[in-house]
Structure 1
């Protein structure tokens, strides 16, 4: 599909996502990784590279990398190498960061997702293990800065994409899908506010058919809302600069949510500036096929596998199946409803529609939904067997959601929402409506379908909305044809 152009320019975006791994200790030491500790209480001698210390690889961090590779369909390197990435910054106590450069542990793979009803796929270059740096704390009101080294040595997987993304909307959809995957397989808690899932967006623009433009990297995007705002602003800024005759300079920029603008932090370094070389204290990382298979056996059903099963077992469209597997809780809720009522597509429609709408309004997850899967299944069963109409079902759902009622059948009875399915009683109403609306009858017989709908409306009104619409249509057509 042709990429959407903005003022005649094509947008090109690549992502680098720093995923903090859910280990109890750091990547090369036994220091804790718990969030919120007092500054500089979780940085040990190894994290600071004090003389005489040696890093030791955290086996669980490697297991997390293997799981990610399996989840993304990547190649897991049997041998990978750690390197020292040299740069000088106050929160980097060693003067270098241990990372992977030439041979990363996870290579290739892809992330697929829906943007609207269109399926998109972003190719991955790599995911490599590395340690986090510390954190600079700036106290503007006293004009001083401090350094907290608690994060130094925290295990990260940096996940790098090809420049396959073509809009801010697509970027957010990709980030959400990746967030879902890493939390689903349990390698990251996904807490963006605490820095567990941090995204950097490399943004450039070009005229169609031209070489890639100069990119600027927006660092540390820690919410999906700010991510879209930052990318949109950067796109507009770059286009305006080019149109005004200015060249884009490669740079690292930050997004300011208060102004809605990006601002340059420093010129962007290239790999050569970091003077990578193999870390002499760490031997090559060896991953056996047996270890990979052990991790595969321990993993829960992956979202893409579950979505494919929902298509095969329940006959759902791929879009529905993908939407319902946005979280384990959502998938479990759907499957419980579908199995209980035997109406998978109806269950999907209700969960993606009314249930999701209410959850969004209340700003809660499906785990906190007031309507249980058993209640929703009972409600859908009453729609399927013709006991209530769709409109009546919404009234029942509202009663369940607000706690006005707990039992579906009791709510239906109390509110008098049962559909009129007695054909004798319906025929009497239909006969009365036909007799009272001779003009509409004549118009319908003259080929005007709107007249039929008007008659149906009169019948529903006469039945106080309790007539079964399907039955009304069948009986009315039969009588008008007679």
Structure 2
């Protein structure tokens, strides 16, 4: 399986630009790959769309959707880019604002956003990600989205709208916070594909330590550029859906906007080049502002910032202090294991199915939980994987809990699997113990097994007598088994387990029954 990664970005000398737009975030005018008319050219990536947007009526062409993304990740830092103000989630409004952030008289001339939009730190890269498809989502397809550019910029303040009082209040806590913006070319075709690409990038940023990328806390926000067209025809006019802060809402917003655009065009209306937002309650996008023909954004060089100089080993000036320059090759050598490499290792080391490796890695904290269980159990890795995905993860979702909120610890699950592995308890008893672990915090699996008398019968002679008694009580079932009825043996096994209060191993029961019937 191809490794999802960021690659091929060109790096060079980069300066900084100031965006002056009266306090708003900068925009790009035309969409990625657009002509000034608002209609885009074709993508240069030769890959089939993941899905066709929608089939039209009989005799008409199908629709295809095109999606590009602008992803803003908050840089992991305790302070803002150009001030000492603290960065903290959910702080009281305007409590983390310096004079510089507020652009008060006597400070440096802020009041505008500093961005590398015109001179990005990296260009022409790619992001590889994999999508699970098929009825059981067991088929893994690797996709590629081109990265147009990666740049640093400042975050802006936040508007808080009080509809009851018809007021808009400004919170400057975010103003000046460092952002990493990754611009993906329009190489995606649906909401699920875009959400998967964002999730892959999120994992990469977290692995690198670049950003915590917690979407719930606004540390990763996405703007989606969307258009539809008939295959083989020029791309349509795009709309931009702003500030999507969850992968689920991103997928829903894109699919909703695709459907809206198709309906508009099929009913003879035009698509406006506009900015929209997603209303999660209504499940649709709503207009924010018209972008067509507006020239609101102007850029100028920021005179107070020196150029950022990046080198590789070949271009490093002779005698340069390695502590004072940025050497890209040196950084590359220090990169940690990336998500794609982790998934590949899970597949190779533990015999895990590729689709299972995605689930293990995508759930926050689940990989560490899995690894801790593996360290403490003698059970086979495949059994550990099955229990974590089918039982542990299922309970988490039922209770709407995160992995780190689980009352079942890795040690407890490992102990339970050890009991099961040495056949001290049956599979059904193990499930009872697991359920009890969720209710009885602090108890160990061994304590629960002892209290509820769930141990498997270890007395072979006693079990032999129970099997004999069941056979004598149900001669018709025994006769059916002798005549070759395959269901009869299962019936007898069930009767023996009932007689032993499910404390007998079904495999051992079957061996005893077959031996008695053949004698």
Tell me the TM-score normalised to structure 1 length.
0.80
What is the aligned counterpart of 2:166 among 143, 153, 156?
A: 143
Query: Cα distance, 1:241 vs. partner?
Result: 0.8
Contact 1:389 1:468 in 2 (8 A): yes
Aligned counterpart, 1:175 = 198
Query: Cα distance, 1:193 vs. partner?
Result: 4.6
Distance 1:414 1:150 in 2: 55
Partner SS, residue 285 of structure 1: coil
Q: For residues 400-431 of structure 1, what are the alpha-carbon distances to aligned partners after superposition, in whole Å with 9 as ceiling and x for unaligned?
A: 22226623222212211112344433333333
Moved more, 238-247 or 471-480: 471-480
Partner SS, residue 240 of structure 2: strand
Distance 2:337 2:440 in 1: 34
Query: Cα distance, 1:113 vs. partner?
Result: 4.3
Asked if residue 321 in structure 1 is aligned to residue 344 in structure 2, the reply is: no
Structure with the bigger percentage of helix: 1
Query: Cα distance, 1:42 vs. partner?
Result: 1.7
Distance 2:465 2:97 in 1: 81
Distance 2:514 2:227 in 1: 61
Aligned counterpart, 1:117 = 138
Distance 2:82 2:102 in 1: 8
Aligned counterpart, 1:240 = 263
What is the aligned counterpart of 1:14 among 68, 89, 97?
A: 68
> What are the within-5 Å matches in structure 2 for residues 127-276 of structure 1?
127-268=150-291, 274=297
- Give the number of equivalent residue pairs: 444
Q: Per the alignment, do residues 424 and 268 of structure 1 end up closer, same or farther by CA in structure 2, a change over 3 Å counting? A: farther
Distance 1:446 1:208 in 2: 63
Query: Cα distance, 1:221 vs. partner?
Result: 1.1
Query: Cα distance, 1:348 vs. partner?
Result: 1.7
Q: Per the alignment, do residues 30 and 162 of structure 1 end up closer, same or farther by CA in structure 2, a change over 3 Å counting? A: same
Distance 1:292 1:271 in 2: 39
Partner SS, residue 67 of structure 2: strand
Contact 1:46 1:54 in 2 (8 A): no
Query: Cα distance, 1:392 vs. partner?
Result: 0.4
Asked if residue 99 in structure 1 is aligned to residue 116 in structure 2, the reply is: yes
Distance 2:95 2:466 in 1: 80
Aligned counterpart, 1:70 = none
Q: Per the alignment, do residues 359 and 298 of structure 1 end up closer, same or farther by CA in structure 2, a change over 3 Å counting? A: farther
Contact 2:103 2:109 in 1 (8 A): no
Query: Cα distance, 1:369 vs. partner?
Result: 2.0
Give unpaired runs (5+ residues) of structure 1: 56-92
Q: Per the alignment, do residues 282 and 105 of structure 1 end up closer, same or farther by CA in structure 2, a change over 3 Å counting? A: farther
Aligned counterpart, 1:456 = 493
Q: Per the alignment, do residues 478 and 388 of structure 1 end up closer, same or farther by CA in structure 2, a change over 3 Å counting? A: same
What is the aligned counterpart of 2:433 among 396, 399, 402?
A: 396
What is the aligned counterpart of 1:23 among 62, 77, 80?
A: 77
Distance 2:494 2:232 in 1: 57
What is the aligned counterpart of 2:506 among 455, 463, 469?
A: 469
Partner SS, residue 5 of structure 1: coil
Distance 2:460 2:291 in 1: 76
Query: Cα distance, 1:271 vs. partner?
Result: 11
Q: For residues 230-279 of structure 1, what are the alpha-carbon distances to aligned partners after superposition, in whole Å with 9 as ceiling and x for unaligned?
A: 23322221121122122222221012234333122223469987455655
Contact 2:457 2:503 in 1 (8 A): yes
Distance 2:230 2:498 in 1: 60
Q: Per the alignment, do residues 191 and 307 of structure 1 end up closer, same or farther by CA in structure 2, a change over 3 Å counting? A: closer
Q: Per the alignment, do residues 41 and 407 of structure 1 end up closer, same or farther by CA in structure 2, a change over 3 Å counting? A: closer
Contact 1:31 1:44 in 2 (8 A): no
Query: Cα distance, 1:286 vs. partner?
Result: 1.8
Tell me the TM-score normalised to structure 2 length.
0.75
Moved more, 146-155 or 388-397: 146-155
Q: For residues 33-92 of structure 1, what are the alpha-carbon distances to aligned partners after superposition, in whole Å with 9 as ceiling and x for unaligned?
A: 44435438625448749899489xxxxxxxxxxxxxxxxxxxxxxxxxxxxxxxxxxxxx
Partner SS, residue 162 of structure 1: strand
Distance 1:104 1:296 in 2: 15
